[in-house]
Amino acid sequence: MLSTSGPWDLRIVSWNLWELRGDLPALIEAVQDLEPDVLLVQEAPRFVLPTTRLSWFARQIDRKILLGGFGGRGLAILATDEVAAQVIRRGTHAVEQTITDLNSTYPRGVAAVRLSVPGGRSVMVSSTHLALQEDNRLRHAAHLAQLVRGAGTPAIVGGDLNETADGPARSALEPLLTDPAPQSEHTFPARGPVRRIDAILTTQGVTVRDARAVTSTRRVDEDRLSGASDHRPTLLDITL
């Protein structure tokens, strides 16, 4: 439950949902167990009834869709009623990229919401999915940096970043946005992960209480979690 008079404790989970092609009961149960105040989604449904399918998923986990669905570029932000009531503004926009092959045609962008925080302050929370191509990732990182600097408020960016912390795009974002979780906690591929390419990055002004890759939940063991998506989720507990 969010406080309306003191510091906020928030749980944020970021997860590439593989367009809901995995083990749906495991996916739903895992999110229910994790109980995120905010769920940052990459690879939300894009082709067949994207809004209907995302709405169905949101109902299963009892969350409101703040952003996502048709035209959402595969990104979505879902939240509890309490968080949804604090939205100041929201928007999804494209990130320009160079088209070189079929993989580079996947639409890239940023979905972001600004939330009111007790005391008259605010925080920006966003979901993003960086490209497979290095030049496009660098362009995306520059876009994110401009967005975060222009926000004038603490910011949190969760996503499938398609590179590890020592990659060029991640390096370009340092020290503006950092990953507080252990880099040894890998997220991809979900079954036997060997790389940490999914993360929730934070700016200064965010007090981190816990940051980790999720390997299992109360009802979903590691084997079932590995079938829910081709990525593992990442979790961030913060105080604002």
What digits encode the pLDDT tens for the residues 183-208? 999 999 999 999 999 999 999 999 99
Q: Which of 6-10, 130-134, 138-142, 236-240 has the lowest mean pLDDT?
A: 6-10
The residues, any chain, with a CB within 8 Å of residue 180's CB and separated by 6 or more, are: 202, 208, 211, 236
* pTM, rounded to two decimals: 0.97
The predicted pLDDT at position 119 comes to 82
Average pLDDT over residues 82-102: 94
Find, among 163, 135, 164, 159, the residue nearest to 147 by Cα: 159
The predicted pLDDT at position 118 comes to 82
Q: Above 70 in pLDDT, residue 163? A: yes
Indicate the SS3 state at residue 94.
strand
Average pLDDT over residues 47-60: 96
The predicted pLDDT at position 6 comes to 73
Reported as a single tens digit per residue, the pLDDT across 59-74 is 999 999 999 999 999 9
The predicted pLDDT at position 76 comes to 98
d(CA 64, CA 77): 9
d(CA 230, CA 3): 35
Burial class for 238, CB neighbours closer than 10 Å (0-12, 13-18, 19+): buried
Q: Above 70 in pLDDT, residue 5? A: no
d(CA 42, CA 14): 8
**Which domains, ranges and CATH numbers included, belong to the chain?**
9-239 (3.60.10.10)
Find, among 181, 205, 183, 179, the residue nearest to 194 by Cα: 183
Find, among 105, 112, 158, the residue nearest to 132 by Cα: 105
Average pLDDT over residues 71-92: 96
Per-residue confidence at 4, pLDDT binned at 50, 70, 90?
Answer: low
d(CA 83, CA 81): 6
What is the pairing mode between strands 121-129 and 87-94?
A: unpaired
Average pLDDT over residues 32-38: 98
Distances (CA, A) of 190 to 25, 112, 210, 234: 16, 26, 21, 12
